[in-house]
Structure 1
Amino acid sequence: MFRIARTLALAFFMAVAATAATALPAQAVAELPGGKANYVVSLGHMKDAARNNWVRLGTYEFDATAGTVSARMYVWEHATPKARVGTGTVPDSSCTTTDPKSTTHVLACEVKTAGGFTGSPTDLRTGIYTLQTDTINGVSTPTVWIKWNTATAWTEKWAVETGSNLARLSFVHNTKATTGYGYGSNAALTTRRAMSTVQAHPSTIRLQGTTWTADKVGTTGGTFHHENFRTCETTTWCLTYLQPSSSTACQKEGGCPNYGGGTAANISSIQYYIQKLANTDRRDTLWHWCTCLPMERNERCYTGNSHVKPMYQIIDDTGTFRGWVGVEASYYPGNITDPRKSDMFQVFRLADWT
């Protein structure tokens, strides 16, 4: 699914010195960043060998009349692991199977997501913002600067780019985060698209992100082949895809000493599930794991360290689906020495504009 390129270097992040809080105007700015009010945003703090990492996912709503911004974010902190939770959905037989030898369908398993994502966001913040023009890499660039009303100082700056019916926030500086992505439009944050529309999206969706695993920060990228997913006939809010894998991700170094060396497609494949989580907002979730892993445990549906990736749909002014911003918050579920070293975090975008 992902043709992944990783580096073990810290994600690119250009620090810009924060101006004193008093420089931020308290009056209304009468403009919106990129002319858009509603943004979906993913943020993260990730450093090598750290145990204070975190990821956040949610929305920013800008009010030009008041010059204010409101954040509603889900939070996953490294120091306080949250167990994966079931979504209550097992995709139907049109897009899954109970046959572990299948080379065409994923297994009929209850889709999992990160703990807390089926509830309400817990990080609710308000702040003020200002728009300005800064020189970034020698180029005059529109930016938005936010000062949050928090107990400890928290400011952030994004470069603002405008495209076709959509605006994009590119990470420049954040007091607490090291990476992030954002996309905005004037479509209501209650607007979302059906899974059938997602699967039929005509443009290429590309992955870009920053990862943390085994005490190392890296990068990830590639093409996400949403067109290969199956739409489910009954559970229409789900998509599934069994990806035949030729990579080493599911081989012996991927945790499959007994089955990972096989050549059968069902052994070296990856099980992918995408599911919407609500009708009233843009939450989706991505769940995936190597087929060989539950075989090692003599189980059908994997209960180990699978990848759970909460996501928010990117919707443009016309109501068109354009991709997702998302995070990974996969906490190692076993009892081992230093289980937090085996956690997996990620901040990413899957979008047709990267």
Structure 2
Amino acid sequence: MFRIARTLAMAFLVAVAATAATVLPAQADAQELPGGKANYVVSLGHLRDAARNNWVRLGTYEFDAAAGTVAARMYVWEHAVPKARVGTGTVPDSSCSSNDLKSTTHVLACEIKTAGGFTGAPTELRTGVYELRTVTIDGVATPIVWISWNHATAWTEQWKIETGTNLARLSFLYNTKATTGYAYGSNAPLTTRRAMSSVQSHPADIKLQGTSWAKDVTQPIAGTFGHRNFRTCDTTTWCLTYLQPSSSAACQKEGGCPHYGGGTAANVSSIQYYLQKLSNIDRRDTMWHWCSCLALERGETCYTGNSHVKPMYQVIDDTGTFRGWVGVEASYWPNGGEDPRKSDMFAVYRLTDAL
């Protein structure tokens, strides 16, 4: 359970509202760490119905209490600047994939894809100053962290500080540019990550919460992530796979599979899931999934159409324990058309045991 952290940083109360947020941190001064934690993984997004200026960001915030400063290292995907999916170089080995189109247990042996740019270094490096404040939210004195970024245009954000066992959470309150976001922090170095075998064997349930955008509509997303259903791989140990059966309803949405989606044969109504570590030196993972019938409709084994690519950062607590991910989706429509950006798919979400 998370609880609201107590802070002695500010003794006064102010109202939290975008229109009233006019007093910004003027300079960098020594502060306590938000929730007592220095290192946060963060997903942010601007998602609006019928918009074409959406974006998602994923990366890290590092707080320096002595200086009262914060540094962001972010990957950025903008609606108006589509990025093609890229291969990760990993094809799951035969213990967790198959070349048999009729397999009912194993995903197909395809090179795992991720969002363009995620295999390289973060492209957006920002610095800012922060303050811990106490504000009144629904009549309750609540600790928040207030960040002011050094940016060409005014950019501030406010998060409610909540603490749990060995982990802190920043709950989204306000952001000049974003509409939604998630952040989790600990004092484990951002170079600390857990292996895929630890992910698969994590004992706690991992829950999904977030916001998605597709076909001009934003909507909440929620559910439970079945990480225990994934297979570990004997040789390609940095990836996990899962063939989700009987998913014809999801795959048939809007008539996506007129020839194959109604069948019950192997793979015809399944979803292929791939989960992969992207780095030994940071917390990047990526998830790729697509409906089997969509590939069959195109005469393909490995789908080259509008598959889902979801970059993620592992949430690691003070003890080095895996607690889930924060992530985004940045799946750009690859097939052209009159308004291809309408068919892009974006999301900002958290998959954690610490909702």
* TM-score normalised by structure 1 residue count: 0.94
Which residue in 2 is equivalent to 1:117?
A: 118
Shift of 1:28: 2.1
Deviations 1:236-284 (A, max 9, x none): 0000000113461112525111111112352111000000100000000
Aligned amino acid, residue 17 of structure 1:
T
Gaps of 5+ in 1: 1-13
Which residue in 2 is equivalent to 1:67?
A: 68
Cα RMSD, aligned residues only: 1.3
Aligned equivalents of 2:313, 2:237: Cα separation in 1: 18
Shift of 1:139: 2.6
Which residue in 1 is equivalent to 2:225?
A: 224
1:1-354 paired onto structure 2 within 5 Å: 16-17=18-19, 19-21=21-23, 23-246=24-247, 248-251=249-252, 253=254, 255-354=256-355
Check 1:18–1:151 CA distance in 2 against 1; reply closer, same or farther (3 A cut): farther
* TM-score normalised by structure 2 residue count: 0.94
Shift of 1:25: 4.4
Q: Is the 8 A contact 1:18 1:155 kept in 2?
A: no
Aligned equivalents of 2:94, 2:17: Cα separation in 1: 50
Aligned equivalents of 2:167, 2:293: Cα separation in 1: 41
Aligned equivalents of 2:225, 2:246: Cα separation in 1: 14
Check 1:254–1:329 CA distance in 2 against 1; reply closer, same or farther (3 A cut): farther
Q: Is the 8 A contact 2:28 2:129 kept in 1?
A: no
Aligned equivalents of 1:71, 1:339: Cα separation in 2: 31
Q: Is the 8 A contact 1:131 1:143 kept in 2?
A: yes
Check 1:206–1:162 CA distance in 2 against 1; reply closer, same or farther (3 A cut): same
Check 1:124–1:293 CA distance in 2 against 1; reply closer, same or farther (3 A cut): same
Aligned equivalents of 2:53, 2:264: Cα separation in 1: 40
Check 1:18–1:283 CA distance in 2 against 1; reply closer, same or farther (3 A cut): farther
Aligned equivalents of 1:100, 1:15: Cα separation in 2: 55
Shift of 1:98: 0.3
Q: Is the 8 A contact 2:130 2:147 kept in 1?
A: yes
Shift of 1:136: 1.9
Deviations 1:99-134 (A, max 9, x none): 011110000000000000001111100000000111
Aligned residues: 340
Partner SS state of residue 295, structure 1? helix
Which residue in 2 is equivalent to 1:3?
A: none
Shift of 1:16: 3.2
Moved more, 137-146 or 122-131: 137-146
Q: Is the 8 A contact 1:248 1:254 kept in 2?
A: no
Aligned equivalents of 2:246, 2:121: Cα separation in 1: 36
Partner SS state of residue 102, structure 2? coil
Aligned amino acid, residue 321 of structure 1:
F
Q: Is the 8 A contact 2:248 2:262 kept in 1?
A: no
Aligned equivalents of 1:270, 1:159: Cα separation in 2: 37
Gaps of 5+ in 2: 1-15
Shift of 1:55: 0.1
